[in-house]
Amino acid sequence: MTTSPALWNDAALTELAECLELLTADGSVPGGVIAYGTCGGRPGYLASGLVAAECGDTRPGPQTRYDLASLTKVVAIWPLVGKTLADRLPLGAPIRHALPGLPADAPGGWVTVRQILAHTSGLRADTRLDQYRKSGSNLAELICREPLISTPGTQHRYINRGFILLGLILAAITEHRLDELTDALWRDLGMRHTTYGPLGRATDVAPTEQRFPGAPRLWGLPHDDNATLLGGVAGHAGAFSTPADLATYADALLRAHRARSPLGRWLADSMTPQAAIEPGLDRGLAWILADKGQVAYHHGFTGTSLYLSPATGRYLALCTNAVYHHQDNRTRLAPLRALALKAVANGAW
């Protein structure tokens, strides 16, 4: 454990460290890293276990690269929408305005950017891009032609398809590939080791799942099949990052919020509740909101999480490759994620 940044409670850090150690000891995760800090300060790190058996005795640390899975939504697409898309396509405008040639009878074309970010679009919940293979048609049009499963704006349902569409829209409007846009974004933010895959197999890259006995483990490739079908570059998943880069990102967001810069105003707007998820939790624009709207966070299926609290100035990033052993990581990681939320929330200790 490093020296605790200001405003962090040592009891909270001890609980987080002990919980991570327990998860490593019982085989829930091979290992993991927690990055934590306060706006404007240097981050601290807690680490446990190994990167993976394939990496020998290499221990995870601030520069270990992890598959972010759905954290891609808030590390790639969400900031790009605020920076690039909002001025060209208002949040309340149908996305068809950004997709020339989309037929008027394509129901998905009438959903808005706001509804996609709030997961109230009514688009199909299953992603299943494999069904479109060899269709010869534009992917955005294929997704938009699918029947809606609910009236847009009326029901919260977590949907990957909307963020895939936002990635396609960003590329169409800017005339740049999504990975080109994110490379520029992450470079500007100082996130030097954040990128879309594929990555080479190395001891600083955390492997994930072995899909079939005897087959190679996923290593440097997205765990998400649909991201793989898109060449590893997708709006909903596919990015890789390090605990150190996530700390850099979180600190940049909190500093921007404090300075009321455009990025900070985008974060503030995004922390306005858009839809109820369950008692005590709301959906903002992309982010989940907790602690009466004072904390914004998001999870990734592979075993990652990111938490921000402008109210306390604290942030926390959790990086594990929990799907290395198990698919049921939501239950196994629940205690650690609950402690993380408590640690960043206002008045937690």
- At residue 213, the pLDDT reads 83
Cα–Cα distance, 245 to 79 (Å, whole number): 15
Of 179, 207, 234, which residue sits at a domain end?
179
User: Rounded CA gap, 200 and 226, in Å?
Assistant: 20
Same domain, 202 and 299: yes
Return the pLDDT at 346.
67
Q: Do 201 and 276 belong to one domain? A: yes
> What is the CATH classification number for the domain harbouring 252?
3.40.710.10
- Work out the burial of residue 92: count CB atoms within 10 Å of its CB; fewer than 13 is exposed, 13-18 middle, 19 or more buried: exposed
129 and 203 housed in the same domain: no
Instruction: Determine, yes or no, domain membership for 3.
Output: no
Enumerate residues 6+ apart whose C-beta is below 8 A from 181. 80, 84, 170, 171, 174
Instruction: State residue 85's pLDDT score.
Output: 84
- Residue 193, phi then psi, degrees to nearest 5: -115, 20
Quote the CA–CA distance of 198 and 18 in Å, as a whole number: 33
What pLDDT is recorded for position 4?
A: 53
* Dihedral of the alpha carbons of 255, 263, 319, 227, in degrees to the nearest 10: -170
Residues 206 and 331 in one domain: yes
Q: What's the pTM?
A: 0.95
φ and ψ of 290, to 5 deg: -135, 180
Confidence (pLDDT) at 135: 64
Shared-domain flag, residues 155 and 267 = no
Give the pLDDT of residue 143: 94
**Can you give the pLDDT at residue 86?**
75
Which residues, in sequence order, are bridge partners of residue 33? 47, 319
- Residue where the block lists tokens 């494999």: 130
pLDDT tens, N- to C-terminus, the chain (349 residues): 444 565 788 999 999 999 999 999 999 999 999 999 999 999 999 999 999 999 999 999 999 999 999 999 999 999 999 998 878 899 999 999 999 889 999 999 999 999 999 999 999 999 888 888 766 568 999 999 999 999 999 999 999 999 999 999 999 999 999 999 999 999 999 999 999 999 999 999 999 999 888 888 999 999 999 999 999 999 999 999 999 999 999 999 999 999 999 999 999 999 999 999 999 999 999 999 999 999 999 999 999 999 999 999 999 999 999 999 876 777 899 999 999 999 999 644 4
- Is residue 349 domain-resident? no
Q: What is the pLDDT of residue 74?
A: 98
Do 65 and 81 sit in the same domain of this protein? Answer: no
Domain that holds residue 118: 77-179
Q: Is residue 186 in a domain?
A: no
Residue 157: CB partners within 8 Å, gap ≥ 6?
119, 120, 122, 125, 149, 150
Domain co-membership, 208 together with 327: yes
Instruction: Establish if 184 belongs to a structural domain.
Output: no
Provide the total of helices (H) and of strands (E) in the chain, helices listed first.
Answer: 11, 11
Closest CA to 165 of 222, 234, 107: 234
Instruction: Indicate if 67 and 117 belong to the same structural domain.
Output: no
User: How many domains does the structure of the chain reveal?
Assistant: 2
Structure tokens at 234: 């997708």
Same domain? 309 vs 220: yes
